Every structure is written in C-alpha cells, then in structure tokens.
Amino acid sequence: MFRGFYTAASGMIAQQRRTEMLTNNMSNANTPGYKADRSSLRAFPEMLLQRMDQTSIPVKKKLNLPFHSQVGALNTGVYMQETMPNFVQGDLRETGLKTDVALVDVDMPMNEETGQTAMTFYRIQGQDGQERYTRNGNFTLDADGYLTTASGLYVLNAQGNRIQLNSGDVAIDENGQILQDGQPAGQIGIGYAENPNLLIKEGDGLYRLENGELPSAYAQGNIQFRLQQGFLERSNADAGRTMTDMLSAYRSFEANQKVLTAYDRSMEKAANEIGRVN
C-alpha cells in the first residue's frame, strides 16, 4: 500500500518539473535566439520479485532444499531524467536595427550516430571573463562604444577581444566583418559546436563548455553560415504546442493526485474500520 503512495507521488513530481520547464519555454516564446527545452521521462528500474521458500526431502537427516519461485516484475514510479535544449534554428524576424544580427546556419554536418547537427554561436565574454555562447544577436552599444548583448555582456571578435565602435551606424556583411565609415572595424567572433548537446545552459540565452572553448567557425572548411544584419532569430519555442503539452502535464498530475487520494482513503479505512472491535 505504501508503495502506491511513492509511485503516485513520483508521477506528480515528474509532471510538476515538466510543467516548470514548459512554463519557462512559454515565457521565452518571444526571446530572440532562445532554444526550447525538451524533457525525457523514464521509469525507475524494474524490480523482479521472487518468493524464497524451501522444501523437505524425506530422508533420515531431513534435508531441506531452498528454492525461489518468481512472483513478477514491479515498477516503482517515474522521474524526469533530463532536460536538453532543442537546437533547431528559429525563423528570422526583420527589425531594421543595424546592431541586430541574425546568425544563419546554411550547411552544417550531422553526426550519423546521434543525429545531431552542428551549430554556430556568437562568442560572448561572461561576467567571470570566460567565454559564453549565444544565438541571440540583439546587440547594442554601451556608454564606451563597446558592442554588448542586451544584458550588458561584451561581444567578442574573431581574436577573442572586445569590439569597440564609434557609433551604431555600421555595416555588417555576411562574413561578420564590421565596416565603419567604409573602414574595417573588426569581425564578429563565431564559435563552432560540433555537438551542441555538450554545451551547458546557464540562462539568459547563454551556454558554456565545461572545459575549454569552442573553436572558431571561420577556421572550419566544411561548414557554411552567414550573418544577416537588421534581422533577429526568433525563439524556436512553439507556443501552441507548448500550451498543449502543459495541459497534458496538468492532466497527468491531476490523475496521479486522484490515485494518491484513493490510497489515502484506503489507508484510512484500514486503520480506523477494519478489525474494529464492536
């Protein structure tokens, strides 16, 4: 009986965490470059139950032989195993702002074993000085003329240095070259992730590698990508699909809650009514 409590409770916890993930996707449906999270639910390992017994052989020394009879498998609940971003490129939205730049992957190799396609990212300097990566090209200039993200982090060039400009009236070509008054002013740094699933999501659209840094995408000869000025990459979170999944998660949570209530009533009857002495 108590095992039923744990099974139903594990289902409620899993659906609650899934709902929190879907809520975050919904809230970022309009965030440029956002990659929606996906979850995978998995059952706890099954346990094979066996009954231990023994049989007696009618001999002088009364020999007893142990044996096991199989009862069957027992499932012990479900849990949300992991969440992983969906690295699918979003649609482009025109803004007309010269500091908005969309990163478009034209031709990227795919890993045949995992089915994961490689991806490019903007190189950003994090608050700790280490490199971070993002697909959000909603850039701006700070008071000192440095090109930064909307949250104030510095955008790095191809050499890993900050990009300083005189004004926001610049031209950015498809190769990331920045032209100011007709003169080159640097090249936007682009990192290449052969397996984006190795990136660790930090929030605010930022990713990092646990060890090391991504190689430069400009040094890769087997890929094609381009930058498009005046555009932003939309979030790839589908609001309609996310809402449907949220309703499904809520219904599953509600079903487990009803099972838990039924177990509670059964335990109440067992404790207060069965075996009562009249």
Note the pLDDT of residue 184. 86
Note the pLDDT of residue 74. 67
Specify whether 257 is located in the same domain as 171: no
Note the pLDDT of residue 112. 80
Specify whether 146 is located in the same domain as 229: yes
Q: Which domain holds residue 124?
A: 92-233
Specify whether 228 is located in the same domain as 99: yes
Specify whether 119 is located in the same domain as 157: yes
Query: For residue 191, how far is the Cα from the chain centroid?
Result: 19
pLDDT digits (tens, 9 = 90+) for 92-134: 999 999 999 999 999 999 888 777 899 999 999 998 889 999 9
Taking the chain (278 residues) in runs of 10, the rounded mean pLDDT of each run is 77 91 93 91 71 67 68 74 88 93 92 85 93 94 91 93 86 92 89 92 90 91 92 93 93 91 83 67
pLDDT digits (tens, 9 = 90+) for 193-222: 999 999 999 888 999 998 889 999 998 888
Q: How far apart are CA 77 and CA 42, in angstroms?
A: 9
Reported pTM: 0.79
Specify whether 124 is located in the same domain as 159: yes
Question: Is the torsion defined by CA of 257, 259, 263, 266 positive or negative?
Answer: positive
Is the residue at 278 inside a domain?
no
Q: Which residue intervals of the chain are DSSP H helices?
A: 2-27, 239-272
Q: How far apart are CA 196 and CA 190, in angstroms?
A: 14
Furthest-apart CA pair in the chain: how many Å? Answer: 108
User: CA dihedral defined by 87, 93, 99, 104, rounded to 10 degrees?
Assistant: 40
Specify whether 160 is located in the same domain as 174: yes
Note the pLDDT of residue 228. 95
Specify whether 68 is located in the same domain as 191: no
Is the residue at 277 inside a domain?
no
Q: How far apart are CA 78 and CA 9, in angstroms?
A: 9
Closest CA to 170 of 186, 192, 152, 151: 186
Structure-block tokens of residue 220: 């890769």
Specify whether 121 is located in the same domain as 221: yes
Q: Report the amino acid identity of residue 266.
A: S
The number of domains in the chain is: 2
Note the pLDDT of residue 55. 67
Cα-flanking dihedrals φ and ψ of residue 113, to 5°?
-75, -45
Specify whether 218 is located in the same domain as 96: yes
Residue whose token pair is 């027992």? 74
Specify whether 107 is located in the same domain as 211: yes
Specify whether 141 is located in the same domain as 12: no
Answer whether 79's CB lies under 8 Å from 42's CB. yes
Is the residue at 152 inside a domain?
yes
Note the pLDDT of residue 67. 64
Note the pLDDT of residue 1. 53
Closest CA to 156 of 179, 175, 129, 181: 129
Is the residue at 147 inside a domain?
yes
Specify whether 176 is located in the same domain as 260: no
